[in-house]
Chain A
Amino acid sequence: MRADLPRWVDIALLPVLNVVLAFLIGGVIVMSVGQNPLQAVGVILHGAFGYGSGFGYTLYYTTNFIFAGLAVSLAFHAGLFNIGVEGQAYVAGLGVVLIALAMNGTHWLIMMPLMLVSGALFGAGWAAIPGYLQAKRGSHVVITTILFNFIATSLMSYVITKLLKPEGVQSDESAPLADITRVPQFGDFLPMFKNSPANLTFLLAIAMLVAVYVLLWHTKFGYAIRTLGQNPTAARYAGISNEKMIIIVMALSGAIASLVALNNVGGVQGRLILNFVNGAGFVGVAVAFMGKGHPVGVALSALLFGTLYQGGQELAFSMPGVTKDMILTIQALVILFTGAMGDMLRTPLSRLFPKRPAGAS
């Protein structure tokens, strides 16, 4: 049984303790190759925040994880487990690049909204199919979205290598966007971000955090989403159409996932490259769970994973004996402790912080 905890313990102390636990075990791994764990933490923090381009990379990763985390969270509030963010973002890349190439050379002030809408339509469309299948046919989105990731991978490989790849180019990628069409990098205005991928989409991520919060807790549509997620029978009793809501929410989730493509294809790469999402969609699942589906939590856990990604690469690069796989292991530990075993400390904590039951009987 889930022990009830005071609110601050539940949403602040418990996740922090979980992360600390993950790092303690991660520290043992670092020690096993004869390195000082505290020094490793120092390297991670320096790599992620200590200098301009490192911080820029952290922001770039964080941006992706915010979008992916929000996409998973939104669906989850409706009781839908969207594991297909990876594929939805990938397909959305096609939407972004198609309009960008069609109007290549147009100023980004016009192109950024257009790329956003086009990408969102592709992402929403790709996510709406599993939504439709669950609403009308009863096939569960957990299964279908996983399968749709594979379909997306194959489809996009074909489209990129056979249709989009210009002649004479060796690597598997589309033609490049003109500089003026690309989403501007922070480095263009702020010298400290030079040589880093951080771009204007980061501000969009902040806006999306607020937008998702307002949508869920301050609109009637959000009320309907939460009713459906918490009690589908009560939703039916209230006259909220389960079928319609499932399709719409999946489409919205896919639209948020599509912003990962805007960040990468429209901003960083300026072209559509093979497998550009690179796991961000799956990290989004962990981010959403660790953040308990709340935008504030999503922001914090996205920043944590952004830090681990960027700082971890720095660590693998600069600390002898520490390999990329070990960084991955530490990230996995964080997921394990915050996600799968997130409630492990709940019972001991409930003894430390007893909560008075509201209706004792």
Chain B
Amino acid sequence: MTGVNPPPEQRPQGAAVSSAAVSSAADSALAIELVNINKHFGAVRANRDINLRIRRGTIHGIVGENGAGKSTLMSILYGFYTADSGEIFVNGQLVHITDSSHALKLGIGMVHQHFMLVDNFSVLENVVLGAEDSPLLGRTLSRARAELHRLEREYGLEVDPDAIVENISVGQQQRVEILKALYRGADILILDEPTGVLTPNEADDLFRILDVLRSQGKTIILITHKLREIMAATDAVSVMRQGAMVQTLETKSTSPEQLAELMVGRRVLLRVDKAPANPGKVVLDVENLVVTDDLKVPRVKGVSFSVRAGEIVGIAGVAGNGQSELLESISGMRDQKSGTVRLNGTPLSLEGDDGAHRARHAGLAHVPEDRLRMGLVPSFEEWENSILGYEDEPQYGRGFLDIEAARKQAGARMQAYDIRPPNVRLKTANFSGGNQQKIVLAREMESDPDVLIVGQPTRGVDIGAIEFIHRQIIKMRDAGKAILLVSVELDEIRSLSDRILVMFDGQIVGEADPATADEGELGLLMAGVSKGSGKPTEGAP
């Protein structure tokens, strides 16, 4: 992994000194200096009096909850927005960045959270897109090819220039985005939540690349809310809260606990407190389930397990090993090829494209992995989403929709789950990720199900909300619900689950007790290493 490796001569001599102590403006050792940046949107002060110094040749993390103003600040730096007041120095020069092409000329490049690539173009074509320097494409492409080879050698960014973008992995697509920025001469790279879409291995690769970039003198600004990444990869870290810059710290002199506290403004429990489980009878029983994906490729290959009332069964695994298909199949969104799913002993009939309706009626609630694509209609008002999947129940009227009743109930849930802003008429897309997730959770938990299936409950959710969501899941367990949890965050699986099943290549390859399981052992199971070579870890009685 990426340790703290001192970059060569580019590193300023005062590097050991905490950045707060670095004096005077227009310091040439600074790649970026922001002085008293302010930005309003109507009544909202998205950025207030922001001061930030980023040393050249370092990886500088910026953390903060959703809505803390990180993205606004970076958008100002990248020329999407203009600050209302304040000064920006790039390499010691005062600049007024007018738009993103101007930012690029100054050597600032951005890798967005959602890639901006043309799927059916090749890597090479994507890299030159918008930077063609000749009306004849052939000449541009051959020049770009040579340049790509050079960048590849220099930074270890291997991508096949002729591969079509839609055929390469997400991690490689991200490299294309980085190459795009470098090809345009970026010296300072802004990465917005770069690991949100990556598997752990791809994330490791990314940090290796960032390491190399740093050693070549590039400056990297890393926006994330994964504190583990901040600790592992950055030299310095700035914490933002409610539009203000709280503090800038040297990474090696801080801790995740301290950062979390600075972000949220109060002490945060990173570990989950829970009493031992008290499992009852089997509620959800899955037998020999086989599920194929949209291309008819088998993704779940004969999986059997059961979940008891009052326990949380966690499914660990690297993303893409069949967990998504497993969840979608049990919840009735995806047809199963063979196998049985029983709920309280009765087999669920899940065929057809309205299987989810029958599953829900049988008492199965589902918090989907991808809330914006599946669990919510982003263009709907909040109250409309608060009945999604339950809209045909009599408390919302017969035939006609009892809008008053639905809004009243939605308002009560907003209070109970602390969903902000508390406005049932607000468009769902305008809530932050954590609050959107709470809208889904409130809906599914309050339906009083027998089984709750939860996929990636805290993906893209900020720390304060994570704590709340974890507590709610434990509360459901203690109320005697059977809970099936799937997450790619191993920490989350370990701290919430009463039993861990490890999934690899569409099969359950092992079971573990979270209290005794060793992380290395789980990691090996997740990587499929011990498959066939030995007995899987046996869970405690």
Would A358 and B427 count as touching, CB distance under 8 A?
yes
Kindly identify which residue among B42, B356, B391, B392 contacts A354, using a CB–CB cutoff of 8 Å.
B42
Contact assessment for B67 and A360 in the assembled complex, using a CB-CB cutoff below 8 Å: yes
Do the beta carbons of A241 and B354 come within 8 Å of each other? yes
A221 to B391, CA, bound (A): 9
Task: Give the residue of A221, A239, A244, A356 whose beta carbon is less than 8 angstroms from that of B44.
Answer: A356
A224 to B430, CA, bound (A): 22
How far apart are A360's CB and chain B's nearest CB, in angstroms?
Answer: 4
Within the complex, what minimum Cβ distance (angstroms) separates A299 from chain B? 23
**In whole angstroms, what is the CA distance A271 to B421 when docked?**
60
User: Is A218 a contact partner of B357 (Cβ separation < 8 A)?
Assistant: no
Distance, CA A231 to CA B372, complexed state (A): 9
User: Does B375 reach chain A (CB closer than 8 Å)?
Assistant: yes
Q: How many inter-chain residue pairs (CB < 8 Å) link A and B?
A: 113
* B-contact 0/1 string along A335-361, CB 8 Å cutoff: 000000000000000000011111111
Chain B residue with Cβ nearest A224: B391
- Contact partners of A356 in chain B: CB under 8 A: 41-44
- The reply to whether A238 and B389 contact each other, CB–CB distance below 8 Å, is yes
In contact, A237 and B44 (Cβ under 8 angstroms): no
A318 on the B face (CB < 8 A): no
Q: How far is the CA of A223 from the CA of B331 in the complex (A)?
A: 21
- The answer, yes or no, to whether B142 is at the interface (CB within 8 Å) is no
Task: Assess A241 versus B375: contact at CB under 8 Å? Given A220-B392, A360-B72, A361-B432.
Answer: no
Pick the contact of B401 from A223, A230, A241 — CB < 8 Å?
A: A223
Taking a contact as CB atoms under 8 Å apart, the answer to whether A244 and B72 are in contact is no
Hey, which chain A residues are within 8 Å of B331, CB to CB?
237
Closest to A240 in B: B354
Is the beta-carbon distance between A243 and B353 smaller than 8 angstroms?
Answer: yes
Across-interface contacts of A241 in B (CB, < 8 A): 352-354, 357
In the bound complex, how far is the Cα of B489 from the Cα of A338, in angstroms?
49
Distance of A158 from chain B, by nearest CB (Å): 38
Secondary structure call for the A interface? helix
Is B322 on the interface with A (CB-CB < 8 A)?
no
Output the nearest chain B residue to A355 by Cβ-Cβ distance.
B42
A227 is an interface residue with CB less than 8 A from chain B: yes
Please tell me which one of the listed residues B333, B403, B431 contacts residue A236 in the complex, with CB atoms under 8 A apart: B333
| Assembly CA distance A53 to B389 (angstroms) | 52
Q: Which residue of B lies closest to A227 (CB)?
A: B377
B36 to chain A, nearest CB (A): 19
Interchain CB contact under 8 A, A239 and B68: no
Q: Is the CB of A218 within 8 A of B68?
A: no
Q: Which residue of A lies closest to B376 (CB)?
A: A234
Interface residues in A237-269 by Cβ distance below 8 A to B read 237-244
Cα-based distance from A226 to B385 in the complex (angstroms): 12
Q: Is the CB of B426 within 8 A of A360?
A: no
Q: In the complex, what residues of B have CB within 8 A of residue A238's CB?
A: 356-357, 388-389, 391
Let me know if A219 is at the binding interface, CB within 8 A.
yes
- B375–A237 CB distance below 8 A: yes
Are the C-beta atoms of A242 and B373 separated by less than 8 Å?
no
Q: Which residues of A have CB within 8 Å of B299?
A: none
With a cutoff of 8 Å between Cβ atoms, the chain B residues found around residue A358 in the complex are 421, 426-427, 430
**With contact pairs A237-B356, A238-B357, A361-B69 given, residues A218 and B400 touching in the complex (Cβ less than 8 Å):** yes
Q: Point out the residues of chain B lying under 8 angstroms from A243, CB to CB.
A: 353
The 8 A CB mask of B355-399 against A (1 = contact, 0 = none) is 111111000001010000111111110001001110110001101
For residue B354, which residue of chain A has the nearest CB? A241
The reply to whether the CB of A39 lies closer than 8 angstroms to some CB of chain B is no
- Does B438 belong to the interface (CB within 8 Å)? no
Known contacts A361-B66, A361-B71; 11 additional CB pairs below 8 A are A220-B396, A220-B400, A227-B377, A230-B377, A237-B331, A237-B389, A238-B356, A355-B42, A358-B427, A360-B44, A361-B70
Give the top 6 A-B pairs by smallest Cβ distance, nearest first.
A239-B357, A356-B42, A358-B430, A239-B356, A241-B354, A238-B389
Q: Which residues of A contact B (CB under 8 A)?
A: 217-224, 226-227, 230-231, 233-234, 236-244, 354-361
